[in-house]
Structure 1
Amino acid sequence: MDFDFNRLISRENTSCVKYDLRQVIFGNPNVLPMWVADMDIPAPDFIIDALRQRLNHPVLGYTFRDNHYHNAITWWYKHLHGWDIDTAWIDFCPGVVSGLSHAIRAFTKPGDAVIIQPPVYRPFFTTVSANNRKLVLNPLIENNGQYTFNYDLLEKQVAQGARMLILSNPHNPIGKLWSKEELLKLGEICIRYNLIIVSDEIHSDLVFEGNTHFSIASLSEKLAASTITFASISKTFNLAGLASGFVIIPNPELKARFAAELEASGAGMGNIFGFEALKAAFTPQGEEWLKKFMQHLDSNWDFLSRGISRFSKIKVHKPDATYLVWADFRETNLTDDQLNKLLVHEAGLGFSPGTEYGQQGLGFQRINIACPVQTIELALKRLDKIAKYLE
């Protein structure tokens, strides 16, 4: 089956955050938006068809997650990730960010320390702070574009009484897949100090060929008993607007506590179309679409990296996973304010400034390449407008 990932589709005037809020976010309504993590690729036809089929019934009342829904998740995880999960481990969450908030409230108390590992997805910072927990930073160690965990600092931090660690795997924004060895070493520290691990694995399907994603909960019974794993169909199939994620919690006590928090907040119902979309997505047809899409992403990466290579002061490394490129502009010696103004107002490019992911993102920009190749071609032409700062 063929899929056209290079079809240009206007998203303007659809209440689209990525396009219709450009003036609000960038102060320039004409930037080429390559920032927020959704695609300029249409959701697969077979998912849209499933939603249309459900609309053939005129009543859209209260619904529940049936066996088909749960079995689709277990099939997907077994088939794509080699992880045998039990349907009893699965629960709903409106999305990973809201899921993080529910987990923080379910498993920690106000004032408890929660560890995150910047540079990392901005809501990790805000969700911890907004729930009146103590934010503890365990920055990744960077060496020439390669990142590792800071185990020594983590050991000191957890020994001082932290209650939870929030893990990003694959890591957003750097696109790294943590190896089995890295996760086991991290997990051993967490187990020894009785930390809850909350693992955001929303990008885990988007793995480039030659790499493997390991869910930390799949690596041992002890880690399974200590881990809350969040995922969603939203990134893989461009369905973020359906606000429909899920959580995997093997420990029945922890699952009951999470479910109680969902019940208390009234957030556990979900929506019909999110459920129908997941059942259509987590299928052999969805797997075929994903394989072709990753080939498209690989081609986009090649096109971007070749084009950027002419700018000697921009460094990029191919991500292991995700459709996000972590671009290093530090050799320009521009301040972040100078760099952002050049990109937005002279080049007309709307990337994500690295400082959104913590101070460790100084001098970086995150670029979304889940788009038609024509968008990347246009972005490279716009970079030419500020070439004197980049060469």
Structure 2
Amino acid sequence: HPIYGYSIRTDSYYRAVCDWMGKRHAWEISPQWLVYVPGVVPALNFAVQAFTRPGDGIVIQPPVYYPFRKSIQENGRRIIENPLLRMEGGYEMDLGGLERAIDSRTRLFILCSPHNPVGRVWKRQELEALADLCLSREILIVSDEIHSDLVLGGGWRHTCLASVSKEIAERTVTLTAPNKTFNIAGLTMGNAIISNPRLREDFLAAVQGSGIEVSNVFGNVAAEAAYTEGEAWLDQLLKYIEANYRLVAEFTASRVPEIRVLPLEGTYLAWLDCAGLGMDDDALKRFFFRDARLWLDDGPKFGTGGSGFMRMNLAAPRSLIEESMKRLERAVVSRRRG
């Protein structure tokens, strides 16, 4: 029809979201727990405003998605860093470091699960240990799970943090959206899933205070369609992304060994260790952009631990991934020759 006025989220929309979470993630949720957000990044800001005050401390685990840091700084809160530990096979949480970093004004922990950019899918035991520590210190957890549908093969499985126990759910705000999974970020759809009525009320007040609590009709319809009709497509997509990852990992290992592609468990983002090129961060960024003619995200924007890395989007046609590898190889060969 030609009328695109104000919209509401229908019962069928809420059923679609709840059914998806139950089927894909074994988490049974209630429609009453859902609070509309226009995306995870605005939701991070709403959470910071709802649950903390200026000067309070908020924990992040760098290298991490850069809007985490921005949402803290621009709202006048303090960043408390708990950097991930780089291990031979990838990354791990540093819970000992977290316990030491927490102070008397630490109020919030922002979790990235699966983690962007390092590609970890946190195990249930890791999440339980993290949550137990936060609960013992009365710290709320905001869990960004926007990549939860994008878990690759290899036996990994995403665990929604709030599904681990009722006690953890009572202290957790889970942020989800179909945006990354189905490539509809421009339709500004997302949900905060909050089982605790008091937390939900406080969060909703922050959303309503922003004046943007009304979703758009296209986003409503697209999200419902994706969750009800898109599962088979997603299963194919995951295989495609995994094949792209293998292409990049195998190509670099055999032809550009100066760059190491770290293991990828979830997301569609490859984390490239470029230390073997022997460049500082400014030179590395110029090399990729000017010499290789590739526009990747430079590691330092993800904070501590990002130096010497580049992040590559694998959610692209195979032909583009192949072309990117050819460009990278040409640039590296030229550099070797001096």
Common fold: TM-score over 0.5:
yes
User: Shift in Å at residue 126 of structure 1?
Assistant: 0.7
2:36 to 71, 74, 92: 92
Per the alignment, in what secondary structure is the counterpart of residue 102 of structure 2? Answer: helix
Per the alignment, in what secondary structure is the counterpart of residue 22 of structure 2? Answer: helix
Code of the aligned partner of 2:316: C
Per the alignment, in what secondary structure is the counterpart of residue 173 of structure 2? Answer: strand
Over 6 Å off, 4+ runs: none
Match of residue 314 from structure 2: 369
Per the alignment, in what secondary structure is the counterpart of residue 360 of structure 1? Answer: coil
Q: Distance in 2 between matches of 1:167 and 1:60?
A: 36
- Determine if contact 2:249/2:260 at 8 Å carries over to the other structure: no
| 2:274 corresponds to 1:360 | no
Superposed, which structure 2 residues align to 1:209-224 within 5 Å?
209=153, 210-224=155-169
Match of residue 146 from structure 2: 202
User: Shift in Å at residue 189 of structure 1?
Assistant: 0.6
Per the alignment, in what secondary structure is the counterpart of residue 350 of structure 1? Answer: coil
User: Shift in Å at residue 161 of structure 1?
Assistant: 2.8
- Determine if contact 1:313/1:390 at 8 Å carries over to the other structure: no
User: Shift in Å at residue 333 of structure 1?
Assistant: 1.8
- Determine if contact 1:170/1:203 at 8 Å carries over to the other structure: yes
| 2:258 corresponds to 1:320 | no
| 2:300 corresponds to 1:342 | no
| Greater mean deviation of Cα atoms: 140-149 or 73-82 | 140-149
| 2:99 corresponds to 1:155 | yes
Code of the aligned partner of 1:215: C
Match of residue 40 from structure 1: none
Per the alignment, in what secondary structure is the counterpart of residue 115 of structure 2? Answer: coil
User: Shift in Å at residue 390 of structure 1?
Assistant: 7.1
Q: Distance in 2 between matches of 1:141 and 1:131?
A: 28
Superposed, which structure 2 residues align to 1:1-391 within 5 Å?
57-209=1-153, 210-283=155-228, 285-309=229-253, 310-388=255-333, 389=335
Per the alignment, in what secondary structure is the counterpart of residue 71 of structure 1? Answer: helix
Code of the aligned partner of 2:329: D
Gaps of 5+ in 1: 1-56
- Determine if contact 1:198/1:228 at 8 Å carries over to the other structure: yes
- Cα separation, partners in 2 of 1:115 and 1:289, compared to 1, 3 Å: same
- Cα separation, partners in 2 of 1:192 and 1:157, compared to 1, 3 Å: same
Q: Distance in 2 between matches of 1:129 and 1:377?
A: 39
Code of the aligned partner of 1:374: S
Gaps of 5+ in 2: none
- Determine if contact 1:314/1:390 at 8 Å carries over to the other structure: no
Per the alignment, in what secondary structure is the counterpart of residue 101 of structure 2? Answer: helix
User: Shift in Å at residue 228 of structure 1?
Assistant: 0.4
- Determine if contact 1:312/1:390 at 8 Å carries over to the other structure: no
- Which structure has the higher relative contact order (CA within 8 Å, separation 6+)? 1
- Determine if contact 2:142/2:174 at 8 Å carries over to the other structure: yes
Q: Distance in 2 between matches of 1:208 and 1:109?
A: 38
Q: Distance in 2 between matches of 1:336 and 1:105?
A: 34
User: Shift in Å at residue 159 of structure 1?
Assistant: 4.1
Per the alignment, in what secondary structure is the counterpart of residue 260 of structure 2? Answer: coil
User: Shift in Å at residue 144 of structure 1?
Assistant: 2.5
Q: Distance in 1 between matches of 2:12 and 2:207?
A: 22
User: Shift in Å at residue 157 of structure 1?
Assistant: 2.3
User: Shift in Å at residue 331 of structure 1?
Assistant: 2.1
- Determine if contact 1:141/1:147 at 8 Å carries over to the other structure: yes
Deviations 1:138-185 (A, max 9, x none): 111112351111111211222433000000000000110110000000
TM-score when normalising by structure 1: 0.83
Code of the aligned partner of 1:289: W
Code of the aligned partner of 2:127: L
User: Shift in Å at residue 339 of structure 1?
Assistant: 1.1
Code of the aligned partner of 2:189: S
| Greater mean deviation of Cα atoms: 298-307 or 250-259 | 298-307
Q: Distance in 2 between matches of 1:264 and 1:160?
A: 28
Q: RMSD over aligned Cα, in angstroms?
A: 1.3
